[in-house]
């Protein structure tokens, strides 16, 4: 059986070392969720892992207009005087952004369902980096009350 020359992988002297191959650490993914009170939660571990600076707590919050619900939220850092800015506030050991009204307007029933978002860095352009929060599917909250739907 003849092997084609382009299918052969040749080794280099560097490949002949006793070291185990260096495994690149898997990129840690971070998730957040919406609290029952309509706050987007940022636990301390998440803040540290994503290098979110609590001294620069102002973010624009947006989403892509879609017909069938919201798949992602975008958080873009901004300045304190920005009329569209939401403020990251200290809550317990972590932080959160109160978004009750916004979340209700986009149809998230956060009181009965838990919404989890995977957070990824997002390049907004012009040297501005923010975060893309991609929604996992909603799950019913444990112990949710059987309150009538409005």
Closest-CA residue to 59 (of 41, 78, 38, 80): 78
Q: Decide if pLDDT at 130 tops 90.
A: yes
d(CA 36, CA 105): 15
Distances (CA, A) of 99 to 5, 30, 106, 126: 60, 20, 11, 26
Is position 18 within any domain? no
pLDDT at 12: 75
**24 found inside a domain:** no
The span from the CA of 45 to the CA of 95, in Å, is 10
pTM value is 0.70
The whole domain housing 106 covers: 30-140
**Helix, strand, or coil here: 75?**
strand
- Would 9 be classed as within a structural domain? no
Query: Residues 99-114: pLDDT tens digits?
Result: 999 888 888 888 888 8
Give domain status of residue 82, yes or no: yes
Residue 12 lies in a domain: no
pLDDT digits (tens, 9 = 90+) for 65-85: 766 667 789 999 999 899 999
Nearest residue to 132 via CA among 149, 143, 118: 118
Number of domains in the chain: 1
Any domain includes 145: no
């Amino acid at each position: 059986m003849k092997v084609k020359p382009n299918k052969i992988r040749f080794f280099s002297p560097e490949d002949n070392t006793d070291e185990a191959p260096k495994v690149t650490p898997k990129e840690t993914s971070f998730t957040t969720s919406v609290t029952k009170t309509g706050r987007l939660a940022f636990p301390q571990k998440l803040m540290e892992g994503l290098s979110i600076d609590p001294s620069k707590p102002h973010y624009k919050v947006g989403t892509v207009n879609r017909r069938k619900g919201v798949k992602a939220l975008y958080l873009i850092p901004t300045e304190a005087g920005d009329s569209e800015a939401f403020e990251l506030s200290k809550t317990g050991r972590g932080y959160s952004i109160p978004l009750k009204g916004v979340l209700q307007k986009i149809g998230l029933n956060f009181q009965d369902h838990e919404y989890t978002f995977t957070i990824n860095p997002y390049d907004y352009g012009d040297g501005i980096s923010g975060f893309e929060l991609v929604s996992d599917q909603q799950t019913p909250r444990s112990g949710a009350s059987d309150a009538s739907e409005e």
